[in-house]
Amino acid sequence: MDACGPGRELAGVVLYLLTDDGQGRPVKSRRELEVELGALGRDIESLDLVLDILVASDLVVTDPKLADHFRLVHDYLAEFVRKTQGTALQIELGQERHKRQGLERSVGDLERRRRQIERRIKWLNVASVTGLLIFGGVFFWSTRALDQVRVATQLEKDSRLAQRDFEVHRELEALLASTHTGQKLNGVVGNDSLDTYPTVQPVYRLNEMLRQIRARNTLKGHSNWVNSANFSPDGSTIVSASDDQTVKLWDARTGEELRTLKGHSNWVLSASFSPDGSTVVSAADDQTVKLWKVETLEELLARSCEWLTPYLTSSPDVDDEDRALCGLPPREQE
């Protein structure tokens, strides 16, 4: 099949038909795809080959419960297909479907519309900014977008496996695996904000492990009078202010102390969360008001390493890569 000819064009249309206006990933049968492609005047002779290649390329998956049913592998790919195919193609396909409903079903009209649609879609595919190149062993999407989809899928899988280990009381092994996953995620996103992460499950699961690994039923930790205590907006965290000159964050469910904020030089009179829960504000008798950021992924990873260091230095089951995760030298250099 010509890599730059009808196969590429048909693959692009198939991927587009596996999305919807809400950038979702509907499940469609081969018959549904055949009917829709036929209505667009596409040659479906190579449809089975195109579907096999899309499945082998991890862009499309089959439904395990329904034979010959397909869907895109990830929501992020649906969004990417919509953007890559361009607004013009979306408008053109929508207009053609709308117009077709009002046409008389005569053979002559259908043939004329088929030729018009085929010519327009060919021109739009030629003008596409990124394009599709499939077959002949080469498939090129936007490398960054596809890599993020695959990385996100793998990170979610690794995170789930770590959570299962944690639930069967293999806490340190699970925490080590979850910290590896968090480091990989941190390498992907860098300094980007949480809403740009390809997946946030590793962050939530790492935070949950750290909350549960040493749960407390009471909030004990201040060494002097506690002047105020307030819940975060989502009710998951408590912030307290004390005469011991500190502000503390607590897990509201377990009572575990999450973090101590030091910086005031006199009694801390009050502390509370911002409406979005991302910042804590405190007021003290040292005539200052301070703003504190709630724990970041980097800080979670650092606290995870505090727990892991004794295990990494004493267990014969960890390798040098595990030790390097928390800045420890290779075993032979000790």
> Which residues are CB-neighbours of 223 under 8 A, at least 6 positions away?
242, 244
Q: What is the pLDDT of residue 62?
A: 85
Q: What is the pLDDT of residue 226?
A: 96
126 band by pLDDT with thresholds 50, 70 and 90: very low
Q: What is the pLDDT of residue 2?
A: 44
Q: What is the pLDDT of residue 129?
A: 39
Q: Which residues of 81-93 are buried (b: 16+ CB within 10 A; e: fewer)?
A: bbebbbeebeebb
Q: What count of Cα atoms within 13 Å lies in the side-chain half-sphere of residue 326?
A: 24
> How far apart (Å, rounded) are the C-alpha atoms in residues 297 and 191?
10
Of 25-34, 51-60, 130-139, 244-253, the poorest mean pLDDT is in: 130-139
| 3-state SS assignment for residue 12 | helix
Name 271's bridge partners: 282
Of 105-119, 192-206, 286-300, 314-328, the poorest mean pLDDT is in: 105-119
Q: Which residues of 35-48 are buried (b: 16+ CB within 10 A; e: fewer)?
A: ebbeebbbebebbe
Residue 132 has pLDDT above 50, yes or no: no
| Averaged confidence pLDDT in the chain | 77
Residue 127 has pLDDT above 60, yes or no: no
Residue 136 has pLDDT above 70, yes or no: no
pLDDT tens per residue, range 10-41: 777 888 888 877 667 888 888 888 888 877 77
Take residue 161 and report the two structure tokens written for it.
């496996």
285 versus 142: the higher-pLDDT residue is: 285
H-type helices in the chain, by residue range? 6-17, 30-39, 47-56, 75-102, 107-127, 143-167, 171-189, 201-212, 297-314, 320-325
261 band by pLDDT with thresholds 50, 70 and 90: very high
| pTM of the predicted model over 0.75 | no
198 versus 231: the higher-pLDDT residue is: 231
> How far apart (Å, rounded) are the C-alpha atoms in residues 271 and 268?
8
DSSP letter for each residue of 284-303: ETTS-EEEEEPPPHHHHHHH
Cα Rg, the chain, nearest whole Å: 28
292 versus 121: the higher-pLDDT residue is: 292
Q: What is the pLDDT of residue 305?
A: 92
Residue 232 has pLDDT above 70, yes or no: yes
CA 66 to chain centre: 27
* Residue 203 zone, left/alpha/beta (φ > 0; ψ -120 to 50; rest): alpha
- Residue 33: count other Cβ atoms within 10 Å of its Cβ: 22
Residue 207 has pLDDT above 60, yes or no: yes
DSSP state of 315: -
Q: What count of Cα atoms within 13 Å lies in the side-chain half-sphere of residue 147?
A: 6
Of 64-73, 202-211, 213-222, 320-329, the poorest mean pLDDT is in: 213-222
